[in-house]
Structure 1
């Protein structure tokens, strides 16, 4: 199953995606849907439908209670940075104002000249868990989505803490859909890519992760309860701009495409932050 959060004339609505149609559900967004214990049944309900090509995607979960990100989780990425694999997951957070939809522009901040791309598999929590073993953690996954952890590197590198470079407002595309684990074989080996103006800059597979989604949920839930609609962004593969010679940064006017096989793609144009506006629906 595939579900999304769409912008409508009446505000955001959760929707089930069936082929080229979006069926609107009676929930404010995907988090609202996931908070129902029988959400899979609820998501099968009928409702008004619109052509998928006419919709505007909001961030998959517009206001997650918690959004964890993982650094240094792909072995080839760790190698390109000339680091040793970490013993434990490296964690930081994002806040809701950083999130944008699958076709929204990325707001390029005036305060930085070093804005970077990082394609990541997003894990969406479907039930509350605390101190979960790996089996319980795996069962808590509602599905998978796509994140681009757009990073403001010059601010990130000011201190040893990454947060100040990771949660700039209107910079992090999230979506377009949640895909349930059965549709993507639990995301164990999915091709994952970033393109800039059509040129591939990252090309890897989720099989290169050191810590699996279940590992991450088990680890994080040791110290905090994870709830429906929480997101874990599982780290980025090799090919980041920082590792290039010379380093490569995003520029206004470029289009960032983020793909994960079996899930879909994000397409986001980089614009001056003063020119930012969300994508709008063409549906009646």
Structure 2
């Protein structure tokens, strides 16, 4: 199932993308009447597998009955595919070729850092480039969204705790990131984590370590790789993090970016993002996420 959020009167509403278009779940439930389903994205993520199956059955039945309420994807304001994560945990230097291009040794254990919910935004959102940076970089990443509480989870069981996956652009202000040994400052400016357009359930994705990833800047292909190049697999990452903190439903794990970022180019070739640029990232099976960059007011 492809879940999404859209904003209406300041509230994020739940949508489901099907072949015919996007269904407004709450509006459809109102039309059908007397139904017991989850109509908010975080509630769906936290629900049992049976509840998610119930939502799918409701969508299927509403189509058959002609009661599904569709919305125009060209006119909606997209929200982040996950709206209120407890934690946003990121893995650094997790692709072999990305480590190679930045002349960094392969990590022995996952390098972890965090972002906050102020960084969340959605597909087609305009992102202001902060006045405090001159080196804003893009990073296409596979996002893991936790669906079941996880603590001390074995690697072979780790993916059973995953609700689904999403595409994330881990925007990075390199001059701020490298100012201190901690990367936090360069990672946590407003809207630095566009997420979406969809949150796709794990059953539709299959093996998360065999997905292509691409980044386009103003139509030019910059990143072109596959999650098979990860140093630590998705299962290894979930298991490792769960040894140190309890993962909760809705938590997002950003699994690292492949080669092709601006930082990996020779200094004389580095051209960072500027107002007017448009960045599109693609993760196989998860959709295409586009954002335009503007000057900060």
TM-score (norm 1): 0.92
Partners of 1:151 and 1:139 in 2: CA distance: 31
Look up the match of 1:16: 16
Look up the match of 1:271: 294
Cα distance, 1:230 vs structure 2: 0.6
Partners of 1:41 and 1:116 in 2: CA distance: 39
Instruction: Indicate conservation of the 8 Å contact 2:82/2:199, yes or no.
Output: no
Which of 266, 270, 280 lines up with 1:257 in the alignment? 280
Partners of 1:155 and 1:139 in 2: CA distance: 37
Cα distance, 1:20 vs structure 2: 4.1
Which of 194, 199, 203 lines up with 2:220 in the alignment? 199
Partners of 1:191 and 1:59 in 2: CA distance: 21
Cα distance, 1:49 vs structure 2: 2.5
1:41 aligns with 2:53: yes
Larger helix proportion of the pair: 2
1:77 aligns with 2:98: yes
Which of 205, 212, 231 lines up with 2:252 in the alignment? 231
Look up the match of 2:136: 115
Cα distance, 1:231 vs structure 2: 0.2
Instruction: Indicate conservation of the 8 Å contact 1:106/1:172, yes or no.
Output: no
Cα distance, 1:10 vs structure 2: 6.4
Instruction: Indicate conservation of the 8 Å contact 2:136/2:273, yes or no.
Output: yes
TM-score (norm 2): 0.88
Cα distance, 1:191 vs structure 2: 1.2
Query: Are residues 226 and 196 of structure 1, via their aligned partners in 2, closer, same or farther at CA, if it must alter by over 3 Å?
Result: same
Cα distance, 1:24 vs structure 2: 2.4
Instruction: Indicate conservation of the 8 Å contact 1:194/1:201, yes or no.
Output: yes
Look up the match of 1:216: 237
Instruction: Indicate conservation of the 8 Å contact 1:14/1:33, yes or no.
Output: no
Choose 71-80 or 134-143, whichever is displaced more. 134-143
Partners of 2:246 and 2:219 in 1: CA distance: 40
Which of 262, 271, 279 lines up with 1:241 in the alignment? 262
Cα distance, 1:39 vs structure 2: 3.7
Query: Are residues 43 and 10 of structure 1, via their aligned partners in 2, closer, same or farther at CA, if it must alter by over 3 Å?
Result: farther
Choose 28-37 or 209-218, whichever is displaced more. 28-37
Q: Which protein has the larger Cα radius of gyration, Structure 1 or Structure 2? A: 2
Instruction: Indicate conservation of the 8 Å contact 1:6/1:57, yes or no.
Output: yes
Instruction: Indicate conservation of the 8 Å contact 1:146/1:176, yes or no.
Output: yes
Instruction: Indicate conservation of the 8 Å contact 2:166/2:199, yes or no.
Output: yes
For the residue of structure 2 that corresponds to 1:84, the secondary structure is: coil
1:97 aligns with 2:118: yes
For the residue of structure 2 that corresponds to 1:103, the secondary structure is: coil
Partners of 1:209 and 1:39 in 2: CA distance: 33
Partners of 1:202 and 1:168 in 2: CA distance: 23
Q: Structure 2 unaligned segments of length 5 or more: list them.
A: 27-37, 60-67
Query: Are residues 107 and 229 of structure 1, via their aligned partners in 2, closer, same or farther at CA, if it must alter by over 3 Å?
Result: same
Cα distance, 1:28 vs structure 2: 5.9
Cα distance, 1:244 vs structure 2: 1.0
User: How many pairs were matched up?
Assistant: 274
Partners of 1:100 and 1:10 in 2: CA distance: 13
Cα distance, 1:78 vs structure 2: 0.8
Partners of 1:99 and 1:138 in 2: CA distance: 24
